[in-house]
Structure 1
Amino acid sequence: MTTLTVTARGQITLRRELLQFLGIAPGQQLDVHKLGNGVLALQALGPRGLEAFVGCLPPPDKALSVEEMNAVIANGWAGQA
């Protein structure tokens, strides 16, 4: 268990190992849920909307030329793999 100290301004700082455990990056937002009996649950909020999709696919092995992309599109429309 990790013990945290509350500052005079009512703030706490989460230690690096807690941030890594929760998968929290700098600037990311957290939801705090009151569970009762003085227990809080933290949940990291992920990106929303279009930001959730940016970077979700690995980069291609090779960039295709416009002609190669047109050929792939034409084959797709023709029902060819």
Structure 2
Amino acid sequence: MGMLMNGKGQVTVPADIRAEEDWHPGDEFEFAKEGDRVYLKPVPRSETRGERFAKRIAGKGTANMDKTTDELMEMLRGD
């Protein structure tokens, strides 16, 4: 079954597939690529976008936090 992509990069998922998968407007999806195939995966409804973002960036910070509050405020304010 061929589908056309519109100018915004959107593709319509056929109604029978949406019904079978219980997908609704507002549901979120991720794309996964394996070799030459691209998969559409629904994001669990119990997980928010913010929660997924927090998981993705957890442990990746590089800030040096050995400064006092006064030193940090001075850096932020440019005093």
Compute the TM-score of the two structures, normalised by the length of structure 2.
0.49
Compute the TM-score of the two structures, normalised by the length of structure 1.
0.48
